[in-house]
Structure 1
Amino acid sequence: MPLVKDKVAIITGATSGIGEATVALFVAEGAHVVFTGRRRAEGEAIAARHGGRAVFVQADATLEADWIQVVDGTLQRFGRVDCLFNNAGGPAPTGGIASIPVDGFDAAMALLVRSVMLGMKHVAPPMVAQGSGSIINNASIAAHLAGYSSSLIYGAAKAAVLHLTKCVAMELGEHNVRVNSISPGTIATGILPKALGVEAAAADRLAEGMKATMAKAQPIPRAGLPDDIAQCALYLASDRSSFVNGTDLVVDGGMIGGRMFTPHQDSLRAMREAFGR
């Protein structure tokens, strides 16, 4: 039995990476998907691959008018919204605190936090009215520990997403609408090259070449993949997670679990040798 058969899902930031993988998985598991992004050509190509099960709407997740268009259009077409995956995101300014440009800070907060707030604001009324729904916000391990992003602003924004998720979960849970988040570790997408100034389409193409380096970043010896996050989103969208609310699921191969075992043992061995043991 498909996990989200005939559920209606909205997925943002879905013209590449995690969002694109989630669209494909949700369609395969029986959902009707409305997905958004700012790149029309990429979005229309993805929609064409999935036939009538996936509908692309060009939209900017930072703009309230675009959210109204997306949610109203989904309700007009399908009559309900069962799931929202707030996945839209991107890089934030790099460098130390003294060098952060105010306009870059504001743009990052709009993309990473305001978009999440707007999505929840506009799907909450129909979900409450129907008495069910699942909202999933994409966070990051950078929200849990400093130093896990190329940008300290990105980490701070994702920490805000975590707490906003919990606050809204306490409100909407009373109406059987669940609100949870996912914190990915290092996932092979174009977000890191974008943060370092690479153009979007070229950055997406670099993701494959990053896998070998990423495989060494955590105990599980492979790079994280967009499908790893899509599978977690599928669980949270499905009825199998009907008692999961206000929770953050970390999907990082163990990266923030602690010091990796083998390098730690190697350092202890070196110390013993230095002590003549």
Structure 2
Amino acid sequence: MGELSGKVAVVTGGAAGIGAATVERFLAEGARVVIADTDRVGGASLANAHGAEAIFQATDVSDPAQVEQLVAAAVDTFGALDIMVNNAGVPGVMHKSFLQDDLADFHHVMGVNLLGVMLGTRNAGRYMAANNGGSIINVSSVGGVMAGGGVMTYRASKAAAIHFTKSAAIELAEYDIRVNCIAPGNIPTSLLATSAAKMPPEAGERFTRGVREAMKADRPLKREGVPGDVAEVALYFGSDRSCYVTGTVLPVDGGTVAGKVLKKRNFSDKTPAAAHSNGERRPV
């Protein structure tokens, strides 16, 4: 307990899911936290549950002025900013085929998933560069690591966030600012259901269920992940334990990006060498 004692953190997209789990974990370790989200009700409720140790700041991370105000709110309220978690994200609309994608959500998805990460990194970095460094944690996705079909804009935005993280880590290292990336996968949140929001209800449920089953089949660890699994990695990156770690991308996905799960084969009790009817061994 107390691993983040004395530190001040900002968590975007902090009202629910991975963001809320990260907020709770940071608070449990002694940090004071600014919860940023467009969900005013959820964000304010979470902040109010923790008294003076947390505040809520309504923030659209794709708006440069609002991100600037967010960083200022952390410094004005708590006197510092040590950890910036750029977690806010949107999924994009699912289409049957990329050829049918009208790309109408391109600017919105890129604005939140990429520009929001860049703005959060830049504005937090400006403060940290003048105040003895800090830790910036960008939340991407295994969809940005592994190629695949569907939600192409989402995948592109998450891949871009990963490359940006590595580049920012190189440039900001001279200020003792560490920049790392978490790539969650197979974590039940509202994003998957949101991507199917334009489908008829039954079709949306079938789609969501089918994707979850496909993820399970491809996941070496059969336990499904939870938001708290990602929060633990955010704690590591935000703590002094990772003081010599920067520019990394850490998947939290039950082993999905390691490779496909091989189907188990059934073997007889007899070895191939002993299976010949004449009892002779098969040449090796």
Q: Tell me the CA shift for residue 97 of structure 1.
A: 3.0
Residues 33-66 of structure 1, C-alpha deviation per residue, up to 9 Å, x if partnerless?
A: 0011111111111112212111111111111111
In terms of Rg, which structure is larger?
2
More helix by percentage: 1
Query: 1:24: which partner in 2?
Result: 24
Q: TM-score, normalised by structure 2?
A: 0.85
Structure 1 gaps, min length 5: 200-208, 270-276
Residues 109-131 of structure 1, C-alpha deviation per residue, up to 9 Å, x if partnerless?
A: 11110100110111111100112
Query: 2:134: which partner in 1?
Result: 133
Query: 1:247: which partner in 2?
Result: 248
Separation (CA, whole Å) in 2 of partners of 1:153 and 1:241: 32
Separation (CA, whole Å) in 1 of partners of 2:107 and 2:27: 35
Change (3 A) 1:249 1:24: same
Q: Secondary structure at the match of 1:130?
A: coil
Task: State whether residues 38 and 58 of structure 1, in contact with CA within 8 Å, keep that contact through their aligned partners in structure 2.
Answer: yes
Q: Tell me the CA shift for residue 92 of structure 1.
A: 1.2
Change (3 A) 1:119 1:188: same
Separation (CA, whole Å) in 1 of partners of 2:52 and 2:231: 20
Query: 2:66: which partner in 1?
Result: 66
Separation (CA, whole Å) in 2 of partners of 1:90 and 1:5: 31
**What residue identity is the alignment partner of 2:105?**
G
Query: 2:197: which partner in 1?
Result: 197
**What residue identity is the alignment partner of 1:163?**
H
| Residue 153 (structure 2) pairs with residue 153 (structure 1) | yes
Matches within 5 A, 1:144-183: 144-147=145-148, 150-183=150-183
Query: 1:112: which partner in 2?
Result: 113
Q: Tell me the CA shift for residue 150 of structure 1.
A: 4.3
Query: 2:36: which partner in 1?
Result: 36
Paired residues, number? 258
> Following TM superposition, where does structure 1 have runs of at least 4 consecutive aligned residues deviating by more than 2 angstroms?
93-103, 209-217, 265-269
CA RMSD between the two structures: 2.3
Query: 1:93: which partner in 2?
Result: 93
Q: Which moved more, 1:91-100 or 1:182-191?
A: 91-100
Separation (CA, whole Å) in 1 of partners of 2:66 and 2:40: 14
Q: TM-score, normalised by structure 1?
A: 0.87
* Aligned-residue identity in percent: 38
Structure 2 gaps, min length 5: 200-208, 269-275, 277-284
Q: Tell me the CA shift for residue 259 of structure 1.
A: 2.1
Change (3 A) 1:210 1:99: closer
